[in-house]
Amino acid sequence: MLQSNFLETLEKKLLTLEEDLSHLSAEEQYERIMARVATRPNSVISPEDLLKQLKRSKDTGKPLKIKFGIDPTGPEIHIGHAISMINLSLFLRMGHELQIVVGDFTAKIGDPSGRSNERPPLTDEDIQKNMGSYERQASRLIDFKHKRVTKHFNSEWMNKLTFSEWLELLKGISLSSMIQRDDFRKRLDKGLGVSLAEMEYGLFMGYDSIALKSDIEIGGIDQYLNFHCCRNMMNQAGLKPEVILTYDLLPGISGEKDEDGRLVKMSKSKGNYIPIEADPKDMYGKVMSIPDEVMWVWYREITQISEDDCNKLKLLVESGELHPKDAKKLLARVVVATFNHYNLSTVEEAEKDFDSKFGKSSSLVPDNVVKVSFEAHEKMLDTLARVLQESKGHVRRLVKQSGIRILKAEKYIPMTEEELEKDTSFFKGSLVKVGKIHFYEF
């Protein structure tokens, strides 16, 4: 009963978006924000400044300016791209202002972060086409027409920047620190080139922050070095450096790991992604295909689940009280809801389609089922005693305590004492559950 109540309450929380969080205190906002940042050390620069900014905002009634940069390098967004946007939505619901920066200028260079080669340059036509598609897809999470959401193209100020102004800003920037970037060093070690334009990419981002006087900038952990450039540039311009918030990269659906044993991030090049505009039925099915290890990462990154609730849910699965597939089905419902405006009828249709293809009973059949053979005319009581390596009296006691159940009509029904005396052949093809975690197929 306690498990059932917990799951019902949790599902209700995860399938309902809290539209207005402006009533939260600075400390409550801080807790919610920090619960979602990347798990690596120093993913926030700095937590103390973040709390001060939030307190100042509450005291003055002036919303913070949250910067988020977009380079429209492709026409399709996948749910891995959406992690920052989910957190951007959190800030908007808390009452802050969003500064969406479209990098039409920087897209012609391409972000070098994590790249083993130079990105091909984009034309103005490519950028305009991609941005139109991007805004349509991102609107599933962010209302671009909201009064506290402003969209900027960084060519607005980059094209007006004079060479003398740029040189003045560059005087305090160390070249040696920029060359130490891991992605640049790997390319140089292989004898590959790094263009000066790429090297200045993070500095151009920094000038965006100078132009907008941003309070906070958010993005994936792969933007960490670029964000430090932004802080350095703001400091060089005599401005208070923005707070950096970074988020973990979402693992792909395959659960593939790299040579260091880390889950490989979702990417179109790997084919391990789910488009943000995927058909809800396909989206649901792909979530159901992810490994259990990936499931827990997705719960943290995509859903609104609290750390305590996530730990409780994980404990239910690890103890055998809840099947992993049931936890995954809840995740699939929440993922579909998140990217479809929390439309519950869409969620129900997606789940109904999945169940019609794979059967509800599939969630009741674990991967660790033990197949049991039996002799002709062997009684079920004898078979169970042999398989469980227990006495017949112990098996009878388990049945009286409803400790042995048989799958019937997609439910585990307590086995009766009369059924114990039947030939095991009568139960051929049946699934029997003993206790909470042991399953046998006859």
Contacts of 275 (CB under 8 A, 6+ apart): 76, 77, 78, 79
Rg over alpha carbons for the chain, rounded to the nearest Å, is 27
361 torsion bin: left (phi>0), alpha (psi -120 to 50), beta (else): alpha
Is residue 108 classed exposed, middle or buried when 0-12, 13-18 and 19+ CB atoms within 10 A define those classes?
middle
Give the residue from 196, 210, 240, 245 showing the smallest Cα distance to 224: 245
pLDDT of residue 427: 83
Mean pLDDT in residue range 153-172:
89
Strand order of the β-sheet with 65-70 is 44-45, 243-247, 216-220, 65-70, 97-102, 149-153
Residue 369 is encoded by which pair of tokens? 């089922």
Q: How confident is the model at residue 115 (pLDDT cuts 50, 70, 90)?
A: very low
pLDDT at residue 407 in the model: 83
Q: Report residue 229 as tokens.
A: 């450039």
Is the pLDDT score of 418 beyond 70?
A: yes
Model pLDDT, residue 359: 61
Q: Could you tell me the pLDDT band of residue 141, with boundaries at 50, 70 and 90?
A: very high
- For residue 338, the SS3 value is helix
409 Cβ neighbours under 8 A, 6+ residues apart: none
Q: Where in the chain is the domain with CATH 3.40.50.620?
A: 36-247
Band of the pLDDT at 197, cuts 50, 70, 90? low
- Please report, to the nearest 10 degrees, the dihedral formed by the alpha carbons of residues 128, 224, 140, 204 taken in order: -20
Nearest to 306 by CA among 4, 5, 3, 6: 6
Higher pLDDT, 62 or 418: 62
Task: Give the model's pLDDT for residue 116.
Answer: 40
pLDDT score recorded for residue 187: 62
Judge whether residue 114 has pLDDT over 50: no
Residue 195 binned pLDDT confidence (cut-offs 50, 70, 90): low
The CATH code for residues 370-441 is: 3.10.290.10
Reported as a single tens digit per residue, the pLDDT across 223-275 is 888 898 899 999 999 999 999 999 999 999 988 888 888 999 998 888 899 99
pLDDT at 121: 65
- How far is Cα 151 from Cα 145, in angstroms, rounded to an integer? 10
H/E element, 219: strand 216-220
Contact yes or no for 312/6 (Cβ under 8 A): yes
Most confident stretch, 116-120, 345-349, 351-355? 345-349
Task: For residue 265, give the DSSP letter.
Answer: B
What's the angle, vertex CA 195, arms to CA 192 and CA 201, rounded to 5? 125
Per-residue pLDDT, 119: 53
pLDDT at 377 over 70: yes
Strands 149-153 and 216-220: unpaired
Q: What's the topology of domain 36-247?
A: Rossmann fold (3.40.50)
Q: Which amino acid is at 294?
A: V
pLDDT at 409 over 80: no
Q: Could you tell me the pLDDT band of residue 355, with boundaries at 50, 70 and 90?
A: confident
What are the start and end residues of each CATH 1.10.240.10 domain in the chain? 1-16+253-361
Question: At 284, is the pLDDT very low, low, confident or very high (cuts 50, 70, 90)?
Answer: very high
pTM of the model as a whole: 0.76
pLDDT at 171: 83
CA 203 to chain centre: 29
Contact 83, 250 (CB under 8 A): yes
Span 325-332, average pLDDT: 94
Q: Collect all residues with Cβ–Cβ distance below 8 Å to 265 and sequence separation of at least 6.
A: 80, 249, 250, 251, 252
Say if residue 365 is exposed, middle or buried (CB neighbours under 10 Å; 0-12, 13-18, 19+): middle
Ranking 42-51, 254-263, 353-362 by mean pLDDT, the lowest is 353-362
| Token digits of residue 321 | 């009280």
Percent of the chain with pLDDT over 90: 54
Distance CA 408, CA 438 (A): 17
Residues 331 and 295: beta-carbon distance below 8 Å: yes
- As a whole number, the mean pLDDT across the chain is 87
Q: Which amino acid is present at 125?
A: E
3-state secondary structure of 20: coil
User: Averaged over 48-66, what is the pLDDT?
Assistant: 97
Distance CA 231, CA 209 (A): 8
How far, rounded to the nearest angstrom, does the alpha carbon of residue 138 sit from its chain's CA centroid? 15
Per-residue pLDDT, averaged over 200-209, amounts to: 90
Mean pLDDT across 112-134: 67
| Annotation: CATH topology of 1-16+253-361 | Tyrosyl-Transfer RNA Synthetase (1.10.240)
Upstream peptide bond of 46 is cis (omega within 30 degrees of 0)? yes
- In terms of Cα–Cα distance, which of 8, 1, 29 is closest to 309? 8
